[in-house]
């Protein structure tokens, strides 16, 4: 700005005394302008966007061209004091707003990082909050937000890599580890009942406890070792269990199919039975290849499909879905089953779910009650619900089992046959009159009093509904007694 000519002109307009005052006023305005521009430079360096200051800079430039009549405004002492003061206040406000915005963004990123890391953020949370408190400029806050965003992305990548290597998270563990742990724990329970040493298995299970508390990156590095320990401990323990069981029961579980077949020789109808004993990891089937109409036991697969779809969408069942699912399982409500069957995609959707569980002999029908299945396939379903599967989370499995454990009393037959009160029984039954006779099916999971097994009893061509129920009850009692510990 060229003020010399202006001062000369002021001599003509104001006299020498007035010119001196004008010159001092101009100097004061120039110093204030320089101070503002210096503050802007510092603020931009600290992270305030230059474009945010552009309107303020324009207003300062406009002040230099203001005039009061023929007299330029900067000549007049105090005339621009209030406008300059407002510019300073606006500069402070813009910097405060930029800092507040950056602080909110950094805090949001910290919250996201904390959620992503879950329990693993606990040890770092106090330090990070201190860093957030100490960062007082937009630049410092943006750097924190950027760093925390990168840490969240890195953690999520580690989780993804861990899931790819070990399966989806299940009870705080990769699915492969959780499955092997459940198998080994079942063997340990059986071994303890028989007085067999479990030292090697205990060491492997202790390793899992330590593994569970490690972050994903460490779990990924230790995954192979932990799985190897769990798997290596099983064969020797199985052999020791088999040897101990043989001493107590020379025939063992192998005699059970013959006992069931002997019972069925005196009964009418076509019957299939399958059992998986989690304690010994042994299984057997009678008439295992025969296919039967599912009738209402398909409702367990309908609910499983619904839960699987909810997991895929990273959500849980809605209140409306639960209002259909509960009576479908606990009271075997057909209209509710049809509503869920249609909503989840019918036969193709259920086929996708059951085949993911390895139920290759199950073929969903457009009429859900006429779905074809086998007893071993239904044991696969119940084993997945009871002992774990990568397809369903622990929460999903617990929800379905809880409904199956609360089936109304007048439908609690079959799998409950011969099982004393106080033992956990989760079941789903099905019954259907057909031209060739009644279809009577019962599937479930039994746990307690030294037993832990999944079971399926399917029949058709029964001469009456109660006749088929009596057959299922009797077979269940035979299995309960045969699997008694010791």
> If you average pLDDT over residues 267-273, what whole number do you get?
94
Q: What is the pLDDT of residues 114-140, one digit of tens each?
A: 999 888 888 889 999 999 999 999 999
What's the CATH number for 252-482? Answer: 3.40.710.10
Question: What is the distance in angstroms between the CA of the first residue and the CA of the last residue of the chain?
Answer: 104
Q: What is the pLDDT of residues 1-13, one digit of tens each?
A: 444 444 444 444 4
Cα separation, 458 vs 467, whole angstroms: 13
| Burial class of 461 by CB neighbour count within 10 A (0 to 12, 13 to 18, 19+) | middle
Residue found by looking up tokens 């086998």 in the block: 374
Minimum mean pLDDT range among 57-71, 106-120, 293-307: 57-71
Closest of 155, 189, 149, 59 to residue 452, by C-alpha: 189
Quick one: pLDDT at residue 441?
Answer: 98
Is 250 or 331 the better-scoring residue by pLDDT?
A: 331
> If you average pLDDT over residues 200-220, what whole number do you get?
92
SS3 415: coil
Please report, for residues 31, 73, 310, 360, 386, the alpha-carbon distance to residue 284 in angstroms, rounded to integers and kept in the order given.
96, 102, 33, 17, 18
Instruction: Output phi, psi for 73, to 5 deg.
Output: -60, -40
Minimum mean pLDDT range among 6-10, 153-157, 392-396: 6-10
Is the pLDDT score of 18 beyond 80?
no
What b/e sequence results for 41-68 when a residue is b if at least 16 CB atoms lie within 10 Å of its CB, and e otherwise? eebbeebbeeebbeebeeebeebbeeee
- Average pLDDT score, the chain: 89
- DSSP-assigned letters across all residues of 127-181: HHHHHHHH--SHHHHHHHHHHHHHHHHHHHHHHHHHHHHH-SEETTEEHHHHHHH
202 sits in the region (left: phi over 0; alpha: psi -120 to 50; else beta) called alpha
DSSP code of residue 333: -
Please report, for residues 252, 284, 366, the alpha-carbon distance to residue 484 in angstroms, rounded to integers and kept in the order given.
10, 16, 41
Query: Taking the domains of the chain in order of start, what are their residue ranges?
Result: 1-163, 169-248, 252-482
Is the pLDDT score of 250 beyond 90?
no
Quick one: pLDDT at residue 2?
Answer: 42
Minimum mean pLDDT range among 9-13, 351-355, 395-399: 9-13
Quick one: pLDDT at residue 429?
Answer: 98
Is the pLDDT score of 444 beyond 70?
yes
**For 287-370, where are the E strands, in sequence order?**
292-293
Helices (H), 213-297: 216-248, 256-264
Q: pLDDT band at 240, cuts 50/70/90?
A: confident
């Amino acid at each position: 700005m060229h003020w010399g000519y202006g001062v000369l002109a002021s001599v003509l307009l104001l006299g020498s005394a007035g010119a001196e005052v004008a010159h001092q006023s101009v100097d004061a305005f120039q110093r204030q302008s320089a101070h503002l521009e210096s503050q802007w430079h510092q603020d931009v360096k600290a992270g305030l966007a230059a474009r945010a200051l552009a309107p303020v800079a324009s207003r300062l430039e406009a002040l230099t061209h203001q005039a009061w009549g023929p007299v330029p405004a900067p000549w007049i002492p105090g005339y621009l004091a209030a406008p300059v003061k407002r510019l300073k206040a606006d500069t402070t406000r813009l910097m405060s707003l930029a800092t507040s915005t950056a602080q909110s963004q950094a805090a949001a990123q910290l919250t996201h990082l904390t959620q992503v890391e879950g329990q693993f953020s606990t040890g770092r949370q106090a330090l990070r909050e201190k860093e957030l408190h100490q960062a007082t400029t937009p630049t410092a806050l943006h750097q924190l937000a950027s760093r925390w965003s990168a840490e969240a992305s890195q953690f999520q990548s580690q989780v993804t890599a861990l899931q790819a290597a070990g399966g989806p998270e299940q009870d705080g563990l990769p699915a492969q580890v959780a499955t092997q742990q459940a198998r080994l724990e079942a063997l340990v329970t059986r071994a303890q009942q028989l007085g067999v040493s479990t030292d090697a298995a205990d060491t492997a299970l202790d390793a899992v406890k330590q593994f569970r508390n490690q972050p994903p990156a460490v779990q990924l590095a230790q995954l192979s070792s932990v799985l190897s320990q769990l798997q290596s401990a099983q064969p020797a323990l199985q052999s020791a269990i088999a040897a101990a069981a043989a001493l107590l029961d020379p025939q063992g579980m192998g005699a059970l199919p013959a006992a069931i077949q002997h019972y069925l020789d005196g009964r009418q109808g076509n019957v299939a039975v399958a059992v998986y004993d989690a304690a010994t990891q042994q299984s057997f089937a009678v008439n295992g290849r025969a296919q039967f109409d599912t009738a209402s036991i398909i409702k367990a697969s309908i609910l499983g499909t619904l839960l699987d779809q909810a997991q895929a969408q990273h959500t849980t069942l809605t209140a409306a879905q639960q209002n259909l699912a509960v009576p479908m399982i606990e009271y075997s409500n057909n209209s509710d089953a049809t509503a869920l069957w249609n909503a989840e995609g019918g036969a193709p959707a259920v086929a996708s779910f059951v085949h993911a569980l390895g139920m290759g002999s199950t073929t969903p029908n457009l009429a859900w009650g006429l779905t074809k299945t086998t007893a071993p396939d239904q044991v696969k379903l119940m084993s997945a619900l009871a002992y774990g599967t990568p397809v369903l989370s622990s929460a999903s499995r617990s929800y379905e089992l809880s409904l199956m454990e609360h089936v109304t009393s007048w439908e609690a037959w079959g799998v409950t046959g011969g099982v004393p009160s106080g033992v956990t029984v989760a079941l789903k039954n099905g019954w259907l009159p057909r031209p060739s006779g009644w279809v009577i099916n019962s599937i479930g999971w039994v746990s307690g009093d030294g037993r832990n097994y999944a079971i399926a009893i399917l029949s058709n061509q029964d001469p009456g509904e109660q006749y088929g129920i009596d057959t299922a009850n009797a077979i269940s009692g035979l299995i309960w007694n045969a699997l008694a510990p010791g």
